[in-house]
Structure 1
Amino acid sequence: MILTDNVRNNCENSFEFIKDILDMQNNLPIDSIEQQFKALLRDEHIVVEAETGSGKSTRLPLWAAIYGKVLVVEPRRVACTSLAEYLLTEEANPDQLSVGYAIRFEHHFDENTDIIYATPGVALRWLSEGNLAQFSTIIIDEFHERRWDTDLLLALLKQQQSHRLVITSATIDSQRLVNYLSAQHLQAKGRNFSVNVLHHASDSRDMPDVMNIDKRITRLVQTHIDSHQDILIFLPGRKEIASTQNALTQQFSEQIQAGLMDIIPLHASVTDDERKRALTKSDKQRIIVATNVAETSVTIPGVTLIIDSGLERRTHQRNGRTVLSLHAISKASSEQRKGRAGRVTDGVCIRLYGKAAALELLTPPELQREELVEAYLAALCCNARLSQLSFIDPLPEKTFIAAQQVLLSMGAMTENEVITDYGRCLYQLPIDTLFSHLITAMDTRANKEAMVDLAAALSIPQRLWQPPRSEENIEQLYRWLGNVFCDATALIKMVRMDECPEWLAVDDNMLAEARLLSVQMRELLELPELSVASRFKRDLWQDAVIKAVPELVFLRREKRQQAMSNGIIEVSSAKDSLIDNQTPDGSLSQAAIVFDQFALPGRGVKQNRILAMCSSPVTLSQINNAELGELVQGDTVEQHDGSFKTAIQRIYAGRVINTRWIEPEGQSARSAIVAMLLAGEVMPDLAPRIISDISQWNLYLALGLYNADFVKREPDSVDVIEWLSQQIEDLGIEHIDDLELFEPSDFTFEGIPEWERQEFDERYPREVKLTDLVMAIDYDIHRKLVVANYTSGNRKPDPKRWELPRWQGWRVQYRKASRIIDIK
């Protein structure tokens, strides 16, 4: 196997610690189970419980290779490349079995390779293509991380029963895996270096807390800095890492300037230099500030002190959406973090929470926390029905149904859970299902290329760029984008340019990854190379997007301009989005396609805050031309010449986006006539009478007073608008001018018999007049409640019960403005 220099350099750093251990001790902890493992693997599935660093990721594949080719599924790309590189050494692989790896952008193996390390995504694609048949044994490593793709892969392999399966886990939950697979259980004890655990909390039940975490950690580091060479600090995210790194840099500025100390961030998007400094031993004292990426898969040499915040950022379902929020870690994660301090010598772990803090035993699996669209599509492409797969933890029913509806609406599957050709086309693209759908739905090659490049930019793990802040650079950006503030256009241009302007704060590593992904998709879809990308017309491309997924169109709220809605959900612009920038004339785009959303838990129990991360402004005309929303008949007004015109409005997300005036005719005319009658614009005496007659009839029915022997009408409640519309149609009125041929007496509602009506109105009046007080009366039959609503009058005291009709057995309330009181 031939590796690039860049890959080789990155991999070498990950094995410094493994080599240190080999120098100290010829045997690894995993070696104690070698003979049992080889004997059982002939006929059994095996669950191996062993801590990270025990040697399981390198020894087990070599042992399994005696039975044929081995696929090792690793959750992270760095682990795939690093482990493959390590097994190239004669020290690690004395029999010199051939070893390769396969990750999203790189494949290094051939048909004769004995052991291949691959990410779960690659393994799932091979399974869907029938390419796993070449392997005799499949090892799923670090299963305790419970990624959705490893859970799905295991469920599919369990159903097929065509491979020997080896599952490794570093947690105490391995017995559930044993029962799930009917497997044998082997356990390898770790090294006996002790880790002293200290809890830095005011109460033993204190939970992890992010408040002032940078200051608290800085004080702890000051206290313990002289007792340790290297310190590893676990924090939930980049924000906390940046603030803590700044605080530590200020505190230890002298040591840093003297070249005695190095403070290094470690998360998913650090630079190659930062990653190398974190994973390589140094003469300097190092303080490594990391996310939970440092829990597994990477090895950090020399660390003897762990400071654990007890926090992580984790996805979960909330009100039907996947949101990212701050969580306390599980007990299993806390043990993983602690173990980082006891690799080569005794260590210390300081936990910023109480000893009795109510942590979860295990981190909930991703299939329980996230949307299932991608997992559902992957299962279908592997010719499996997600509803019939057996998972170690049952899938949430609501999330399953939601994913099913999404794929059905896209045409990716049938009602019988069978993948369609279109669904297989979507799965070929190594990106989110929504972006796959948009790419395949584009109507021209130029539009398809634009969507490919945008999808590539939005599918990388971190943000590609930061918009400028100075007014001068903002003006440059506006001109550079073609006189529009558009996130999507900016990303497409960056992916396509050989070199971006210096005033754009572009992450070169992320840009390189986005370009690689674009190149891969262009090859797959047989599109022109990135260097000769087709020019596209922005408005035509947007029209194609709107047609494909209309719910991506959002409209600004009229009263709260910072919020946008599509009639289903509301979003707010992310801080780094361009959509809220005013154009030189001071205008603000009123509508946009929102390509990327990020949901956060908001305040309150049931609220989410959804941020629009990538938006592309569209015009109201584009929305109207796409016929989004609904047409509603508005007011009818009289023209100067005595004719009438009716407004036909298109309403989207609660806002009128277009109004056209027509001469009312047919149903439109009838609706206009009804509106004018009810507004009293014509026959002003008709509406009060009809409304009173129909309201009393509905009350009469509700009170159970209907008697078929005396009442001609059927016992059905009546809607005023529907009744008037029917009367107009029955009378043959087709134009507003036709009303001149009729009198109010031509509109008669026959409801309560005449001989009963006067007595009924006295018992249940619709209006009550007292001295200086007039009230309109409403009746709530179900609650047996009468509400007297203030209409007019100068009377200040509230009405008394004795002044009102008897209403025996009814509760009575008086309402004036927002004030409501019970009348006793």
Structure 2
Amino acid sequence: MSPSLPIDSLKDTFLTQLKSHHLVVEAETGSGKSTRLPVWAAEHGRVLVVEPRRVACTALAEYVAQLRGDRLGQGVGYAIRFDNRFNAQSNIVFVTPGVALRWLSEDQLAAFDTVIIDEFHERRWDTDLLLALLKQKQTHRLVATSATMDSRRLAQYLGAERLQATGRNYTVEVSHLASDSRNMPDVRGVEKKVAEAILPLHQQHQDILVFLPGRKEIAQCAAQLKQVFAAAIAAQQIDVIALHASVSDAERHRALTESDKQRIILATNVAETSLTIPGVTLIIDSGLERRTHQRNGRTVLGLHAISAASAEQRKGRAGRISAGHCIRLYGKAAPMERLTPPELQREELVEPMLAAASCGSRLEDLSFADPVPEKSLAQAQDKLLQMQAIDSSGQITAHGQLLYPLPIDTLFAHLITAMPDKASREAMVDLAAGLSVYQRIWQMPGGEESREKLAQWEPHHCDAMALIKLLRGSVPEWLTIDRDVLAEARQLSQQMRDALALPDLDVASAVRREAWLSAVMRAVPELVYVRRQKRRQALGNGFGEVSIGRDSRFPEQAEAAVVFDQFALPGKGVKQNLVLATCMAPVPFSLLNELDFGEAQLGEAEVTEAGCQVAHHRVYAGRVIETRWQAPQGASALEALVDMVLDGLLVDGLAAQIRADIHQWNLYLALGRYQAEVCTRTPEPVEVRTWLQAQLEALGVESAEDLALFSAEDFPFEGIPEWERADFDTEFPYQVVLTDLTLNIEYQVAGKRVLAIYAGGNRKADPKRWELPRWQGWKIRYRKASRTIDIK
């Protein structure tokens, strides 16, 4: 018989209300809501329990099956990616949100009567979306549970009854280790702070649970504790255990099962809710988590202080069996957020929008507990339209229906389905699998000898090809590999191969690298980046910029790459991100040209013994990726001839003449000197290039040879009347020549300002006022290089 739990007081009310109402159950951690409510709801029909984390999903299914005396997979089962244990008779099935959404898209969850969404306060996008879809459809009885969410507001949103239960059986003392009461959580030296917090207290407690932001900090902390408690560990008295989403089943069981040893469990916020860790009486809370958020239009992963609600959740993991103690490594008055913001407000919405469309709804039409940003909705719609995954009305297309079931990022799903042949599709499947697991499969070797071996093993210096080779079984002994992560990537690849009727991984088709990358570049051109000319670590694609990641093998001599994976970190500025390219495939400029990347631009022209030649550039993301020299032809010939005249290469003296004439005419107009009775030209400003091109067209000039027949005198500009021009040039000169100093003059008529710009000469001193024209009533400034001064 299971022990009594605080939630038990709600059983009769829960069963009565569930017959006719949706329910919101608010109960603190440890109340038993995750294990009792599914069993009670099963009295009214088949129950789907949605758990936000895989570890909790399987652990809760095992525990509930044990409580009911069932064999796991019979009356109680679960379904997560790669693993399911349930049958048609299972009346309680625990699933992750992704599985629930997929089943909803397939058969509207017709086999279930009640859907329980557990730990709704975590505010994942998939649980928010699932609840919104089920609220719209009104086909199931809904139960949402939360430890910290504002349950009154959630009940109003669902039109539900609200039930509350208290959960903690014993008091938990809270203390703070911070030099100032307002100190926020800080990751620096966190492993030492944890050891210092545990050392004086560990003998007074049973098991200890430490909350850390990620695997990196868990590894560092484990190393520190194993050093501090080396003797106790050797004597089998203390066990240091990691608990995060990617631990093995054996590690998870060690963390969730009581032991003769004192356990120090180092966990991410996977242990914050749902999971019951018996024996814990001491909590060490770093106050940190890794969380996604929107920054400058991109979802980035950053280190954040947890919310006050999460801090209460973490505290609640102690005090289950006796009085507990929670030590927070930050100040008592630290200004924490009240609740963690929902993912739908923090992340890109491409996947949620496609998931909603797959379930027959438009994301923008759904009612959510909190509003979804309009800008994020528009960006997601644009991306899915470009992929042709939705149509203009927001409905899912046949292509979108192919993308959605693939258990990977929408972009990778699109790339897989866009591949034109089997070999390229297999390559894309394997790469997508390698990039979709939770951790890097391999580490860049540090030694020069190992790097040389790596270059021989994969000679293209291509991160993508290295991943594909690893998935297909080529694993060098000298390369550091995470075998568990590699096994999951292979499992994911095989799952997609089965779904797409492709050959098994162990008989994969050979990769035709250039054909595959060409297909990728055609399908998603924005994945193609070229190096910046001056900042060699940076690459651009015309829309954004990435920096070469530390673990990428992109070679120094390469100039362009397909960037398959990026990792965005917050930069120092308000709108800056540091975006690292973590999986790159070098491609030559010739391939970009072959696929018609970039835009044609006319470049410089030159006259040689062979005649007039014009540079025809192809420019992509600010880089010239191809240059061809050829004789001017057609419309481009006229533009090239104009360029050469203005550069002084053709018709000696014409460029200086027309620039001066037109500058003075435009100034004449700006000063209000125009007189209709004496001026032959209409009072409109003139642009030098436009005027000259019109003159060449009127004269029928088509080549440099034609222009050789003309001189500057053949291109008169009729502007300021001839009898007035000399006096005007004296009053408002276009250029001033002094001893050892030549100045170009600009006039700002509206502000009556003259800017004299250094154009040449050996004089080091600034010009004097008495040397310059009178310019009565005008303010005069002198500029040389970046220095500008007033002349008085």
Same fold (TM over 0.5): yes
- Distance in 1 of aligned mates of 2:753 and 2:394: 52
Specify which of 437, 442, 452 is matched with residue 419 of structure 2.
442
Please tell me whether residue 670 in structure 1 is matched to residue 638 in structure 2: yes
Distance 2:381 2:395 in 1: 11
What is the rounded CA distance, in whole Å, between the counterparts of 2:437 and 2:201 in structure 1?
38
Structure 1 window deviating more from structure 2 (456-465 vs 282-291): it is 282-291
| SS of match in other structure, 2:162 | strand
Q: Mind listing any 5+ residue stretches in structure 1 that lack a counterpart?
A: 1-18, 581-586
Instruction: Give the C-alpha shift of residue 77 in structure 1.
Output: 1.7
Which structure 2 residues correspond to residues 192-271 of structure 1 after superposition, within 5 A?
192-271=169-248
Cα deviation per residue 1:52-72 (whole Å; 9 max; x = unaligned)? 332212221222223222211
Answering whether residue 715 of structure 2 is matched by residue 750 of structure 1, we say no
- The superposition leaves residues 333-363 of structure 1 with CA deviations (integer Å, 9 ceiling, x where unpaired) of 1001111111111111111111111100001
Structure 2 partner of 1:637: 606
Q: Per the alignment, do residues 805 and 420 of structure 1 end up closer, same or farther by CA in structure 2, a change over 3 Å counting? A: farther
Identity within the alignment, %: 60
- 1:162-561 matches, cutoff 5 A: 162-481=139-458, 483-497=459-473, 500-561=475-536
- 1:92-142 superposed Cα distances (whole Å, 9 cap, x missing partner): 679x98222222223333333322211111111122223312322111111
Contact in 2 for aligned 1:86/1:92 (Cα 8 Å): no
1:11 aligned partner = none
CA distance in 2, matches of 1:408, 1:811: 56
Which residue does the alignment assign to 2:580?
611
CA distance in 2, matches of 1:346, 1:794: 87
The 1:111/1:700 distance shift into structure 2, 3 A limit, reads farther
**Structure 2 CA distance for aligned equivalents of residues 312 and 397 of structure 1:** 27
Pair 280,711 (structure 1): closer, same or farther in 2 beyond 3 Å:
farther
Call closer, same or farther: CA 1:808–1:416 in 2, change over 3 Å: farther
Contact 1:194 1:342 in 2 (8 A): yes
Query: Which has the higher mean CA deviation after the structures are superposed, 233-242 or 728-737?
Result: 233-242
Find the partner of 1:623 among 592, 603, 606.
592
The amino acid that maps onto 2:271 is: A
Q: Cα distance, 1:79 vs. partner?
A: 2.1
SS in structure 2 of the partner of residue 493 of structure 1: helix
Q: What residue is the counterpart of 2:789 in the other structure? A: 821
Superposition deviation, residue 289 in structure 1:
2.1
Aligned pairs for 1:796-811 within 5 A: 796-801=764-769, 803-805=771-773, 807=775, 810-811=778-779
Cα deviation code 1:223-272 (max 9, x no counterpart): 22232232222222223223222222222222222322222232233344
Alpha-carbon offset, residue 625 of structure 1: 0.9
Cα distance between partner residues in 2 of 1:181 and 1:709: 80
Superposed CA offset, 1:451-501 (max 9, x none): 0111111111111111222233222222222x221111111111121x623
Is 1:150 paired with 2:127? yes
Residue 123 (structure 1) aligned with residue 100 (structure 2): yes
Correspondences of 1:702-741 after superposition (within 5 Å) = 702-703=670-671, 711-741=679-709
In 1, Cα distance between equivalents of 2:67 and 2:290: 40
8 Å CA contact 2:650–2:708 kept in 1: the answer is no
Deviation string, structure 1 residues 176-204 (Cα, Å, up to 9, x no partner): 21121121110111133111000111222
Question: Within 5 Å, which residues of 2 pair with 1:692-703?
Answer: 692-703=660-671
Counterpart AA for 1:494 = L
Instruction: Pick which of 154-163 and 751-760 moved more.
Output: 751-760
Instruction: Measure the CA separation in 2 of the matches of 1:533 and 1:127.
Output: 33
Amino acid at match of 2:605: T
Q: Is the 8 A contact 1:774 1:793 kept in 2?
A: yes
Q: 1:289 to 1:771 in 2, by over 3 A?
A: same
Matched residue, 1:13: none
Closer, same or farther: CA 226–730 of 1 in aligned 2, 3 Å: same
Partner of 1:37: 14
Q: In structure 2, what is the Cα distance between the partners aligned to 1:811 and 1:429?
A: 69
5+ long unaligned stretches in structure 2: none
- The code of the aligned residue for 1:534 comes to S
Are the equivalent residues in 2 in contact too, given 1:142–1:169 (CA < 8 A)? yes
- Bigger drift between 791-800 and 301-310 goes to 791-800
Residues 1:707 and 1:164: Cα distance change in structure 2 (over 3 Å): farther
CA distance in 2, matches of 1:594, 1:87: 45
Q: Distance in 2 between matches of 1:706 and 1:175?
A: 75
Give 1:713 shift.
Answer: 4.0
Aligned pair in 2 of structure 1 residues 443, 353: CA closer, same or farther (>3 Å)?
Answer: same
Q: 1:353 to 1:810 in 2, by over 3 A?
A: farther
- In 1, distance between residues paired with 2:445 and 2:62? 41
**CA displacement at 1:673 relative to structure 2:** 0.9
Q: What TM-score results when the alignment is normalised by the length of structure 1?
A: 0.92
Q: For structure 1, which segment, 360-369 or 784-793, has the greater mean C-alpha deviation from structure 2 after superposition?
A: 784-793
Q: 1:760 to 1:382 in 2, by over 3 A?
A: farther
* Matched-pair contact (CA < 8 Å) for 1:41–1:164: yes
Alignment-derived partner of residue 539 in structure 2 = 564
Going from structure 1 to structure 2, the CA distance change for 1:713 and 1:302 (only over 3 Å counts) comes to farther
Deviation at 1:87, TM superposition (A): 2.5
Q: TM-score normalized by structure 2?
A: 0.95
Shift of 1:727: 2.1
Per-residue deviation at 1:408? 1.4
**What displacement does 1:273 show?**
4.3
Q: Which amino acid aligns with 1:597?
A: Q
SS in 1 for 2:281: strand
Larger mean CA deviation between 702-711 and 657-666 belongs to 702-711
Q: Which deviates the most, 152-161 or 807-816?
A: 807-816
The one-letter code matched in structure 2 to 1:212 is: G
1:135 maps onto 2:135 in alignment: no
Structure 1 CA distance, aligned partners of 2:355 and 2:686? 53
Q: Is the 8 A contact 1:598 1:611 kept in 2?
A: yes
Count of aligned residue pairs for this structure pair: 792
Q: CA deviation at 1:811?
A: 4.2
Q: What is the RMSD computed on CA atoms of the aligned residues? A: 2.3
Q: Secondary structure at the match of 1:522?
A: helix
Amino acid at match of 1:623: L
Alignment-mate amino acid for residue 647 of structure 1: A
**Alignment check: 8 A CA contact 1:199 1:352 kept:** yes
Question: 1:211 is matched by which residue type in structure 2?
Answer: R
Q: Give the 3 Å change call, closer, same or farther, for CA 142–740 of structure 1 in structure 2.
A: same
Residue 769 of structure 1: aligned partner: 737
Superposition deviation, residue 707 in structure 1? 5.8
Instruction: Assess, with a 3 A threshold, how the Cα gap between structure 1 residues 385 and 530 changes in structure 2: closer, same or farther.
Output: same
1:655 aligns with 2:623: yes
- Structure 1 contact 97–115 (Cα < 8 Å) conserved: no
Q: Look up the SS of the partner of 2:574 in the other structure.
A: coil
CA distance in 2, matches of 1:698, 1:154: 67
